[in-house]
Amino acid sequence: MKKTYLLAPGPTPIPESVTAALSGPLIHHRTPAFQAILDDVRAGLRHIFQTRQDVLLLSTSGTGGMEAALTNLFSPSDEVIYINAGKFGERWGKIAKAYGLTPIEVKVPNGETLEIRQLEEKIKQHPAVKAVLFQASETSTGVKLPTQEICKVTKAANILSVCDAITACGVFDLPMDEWGIDVLITGSQKALMIPPGLAMIALSEKAWAAVEKATLPRFYFDLLREKKAAAKSTTAWTPPISLIQGLQESLRMIKEEGLHNVFKRHELLARATRAGVQALGLEIFARKPSPALTAVKVPSGIKDGKLIPKTMRDKYGVTIAGGQDELEGKIFRLSHFGYADRFDVTTALSALELTLHDLGHPVEFGKGVGAALRTFSEG
Ligand SMILES: *Cc1c(COP(=O)(O)O)cnc(C)c1O
């Protein structure tokens, strides 16, 4: 027997009561019983998105939500700025290109965050630009981006802000209506504590006006059609019924804890993780770290950095994430959002201490864990 722990930034662990809800009896989706669940879920999502707008459910992983945003908002060759602070920012550019848009990149070096001036200059150079596409939390580098400032700039320029909040929504404060985020997207397998398979998306009035004019082809991910279905407490197509039953329970848990307490918990877990890692003499990769996850530089003494996540998983049963592409072997990422609490942080740090020792890196056992515990005891 080997006990395993899922501490990667998606998919994240599922609470026991959610697992029970997921495996409940299947009901038909065109019934009053399912409509009641859907209405409850939509209200819960509006609470988490902090919006009065409808939150639409799409049967797809998060990337499908990103794609739906672009195909519904734009017309061929439209100019869009995308902030490339890592893999997911880069993905905005790739989707835009695939659909014949004109993507304009704002490149942010890995581990850095956006300088708002960079964005202002790019908008000045491209007066026809329609929108800024970005991540609130860039999961590949562990960086938090300045969403509120980005939205101030897009508002001043009268263009749309399209925010991939897949490791941000339900992790830290991101009030859609208050900050004027025009499109907010999240995915089920991150902070919402259910398996992959659902994307959620909400649009501002301004974004809906753009949808009316946009001409890119779309069929399955037709947001106007979904909006009409939502008004009748249903979905356009057969939804992943079981996932929505699970989501009802995870949203109930979030509401019970209180959204702002959820944010505070994530903030505390992030602080404790950073304190633990730094107490071990390791360096945080992100200049402005996201509360969702902590990206850590592989210490120079360890020649093959890929061995850190591999050893943690294969020897100790703790699944974390390594770096992707050019960051492979250079960083590793510890997740602490969703169904995560204090002892997930100490478990990750314990396995990390053993792993570093195994790989010949000098470790004083308990140093990282101790720093995390001190953070917890101080609150
Ligand atoms: C996980 C994630 C996605 C979506 O990835 P899928 O594999 O399609 O669910 C998109 N953006 C960010 C920032 C993510 O963390």
What does the pLDDT look like over 89-130, one tens digit per residue? 999 999 999 999 999 999 999 999 999 999 999 999 999 999
- The ranges assigned to domains in the chain are 16-256, 259-378
Mutate to test the pocket of ligand 1, among 88, 169, 221, 290 (most ligand atoms within 8 A of CB): 88
Partners of 115 in beta bridges: none
Mutate to test the pocket of ligand 1, among 94, 167, 172 (most ligand atoms within 8 A of CB): 167
How many CB atoms are closer than 10 A to CB 213? 9
Which pLDDT belongs to residue 26?
A: 95
Question: Is 163 close to ligand 1, i.e. is its CB under 6 Å away?
Answer: no
Residue 198 phi/psi, 5° resolution? -130, 135
Distances (CA, A) of 100 to 70, 135, 197, 216, 307: 11, 21, 26, 9, 40
Ligand 1, atom 2, residue with closest C-alpha: 166
- Give the three-class secondary structure for 244: helix
The third-level CATH classification (topology) of the domain covering 259-378 is Aspartate Aminotransferase, domain 1 (3.90.1150)
Partners of 163 in beta bridges: 134, 184
How many angstroms separate the CA atoms of 97 and 103, rounded? 6
Which pLDDT belongs to residue 320?
A: 98
Class of domain 16-256: alpha beta
> Are 16-256 and 259-378 equal in CATH topology?
no
Which pLDDT belongs to residue 1?
A: 85
Surface-to-core class of residue 160, CB atoms within 10 Å of its CB (0-12 exposed, 13-18 middle, 19+ buried): buried
Question: Is 167 close to ligand 1, i.e. is its CB under 6 Å away?
Answer: yes
Contact criterion met (CB below 8 Å) for 211 and 162: no
Ligand 1, atom 6, residue with closest C-alpha: 62
What's the 86 CA to ligand 1 centre distance in angstroms?
A: 12
Which pLDDT belongs to residue 5?
A: 98
Regions of the chain where pLDDT drops below 50: none
Which pLDDT belongs to residue 253?
A: 98
HEC letters along 86-104: CHHHHHHHHHHHHCCCEEE
Mutate to test the pocket of ligand 1, among 59, 61, 135 (most ligand atoms within 8 A of CB): 61
What's the 255 CA to ligand 1 centre distance in angstroms?
A: 24
Which pLDDT belongs to residue 379?
A: 79
Contact criterion met (CB below 8 Å) for 246 and 192: no
Ligand 1, atom 4, residue with closest C-alpha: 62
